[in-house]
Structure 1
Amino acid sequence: MNLTTVLKRTWTDWAVAVYTAVTAARCKSPFLIALFTAVALTAAVIGIRKTRQLIRAETDARH
């Protein structure tokens, strides 16, 4: 997988996390708040993992 593809996927994960967090903040239903918060946290965790993998791969490539 090339660097551009990884960056696009990572950016998408972070965008989904922010969007769903904002959506959760606007909801009035406790169920929807919990649902959107769970989706936001899941997307954030995936984004963190992909970002760390990207940083590790770049660091390993330089050494």
Structure 2
Amino acid sequence: MGLFKTFSYGAMLGMHLISVLSTYKQSLNPYAPGNQLFWAAVPTLAAMIGLFLLKDEDRLFTLKYYLK
């Protein structure tokens, strides 16, 4: 519905940032067995940062956009 984007996108970004930072030891050693999947969180974090920065441009399925 597009409500509370700052809070919802910010909360999602914050939670993912904490999970990425808590696994920094595994991310710094990607060639150890089982650590490759930790690197998948880094581009996801970049995408979430981009989504948060562009939240005002996200108008798809938002009520404010359709009620104007």
TM-score by length of 2: 0.49
Instruction: Identify the residue that residue 37 of structure 2 maps to in structure 1.
Output: 35
Name which one, 1 or 2, has greater alpha-carbon Rg.
Answer: 2
What are the Cα deviations for residues 10-41 of structure 1, in whole angstroms up to 9, with x where unaligned? 21122222223x241576x6232222122x31
Percent of residue pairs bearing the same amino acid type: 13
Could you list the structure 1 runs, at least 4 aligned residues long, displaced by more than 3 angstroms after superposition: none
2:20 counterpart of 1:6 = no
d(CA) in 2 for partners of 1:49 and 1:32? 28
Q: Matches of 1:42 and 1:31 in 2, distance apart?
A: 20
Decide whether aligned partners of structure 1 residues 32 and 41 sit closer, same or farther in structure 2, where only a CA change above 3 A counts.
same
1:43-62 to 2 correspondence within 5 Å? 43-54=44-55, 57=56
Query: Higher helix share goes to which structure?
Result: 1
Q: Distance in 2 between matches of 1:25 and 1:41?
A: 9
Q: Point out which structure has higher relative CO (alpha carbons under 8 A, 6+ apart).
A: 2
TM-score by length of 1: 0.51
Question: Considering only aligned residues, what root-mean-square deviation do their CA atoms show, in Å?
Answer: 2.9
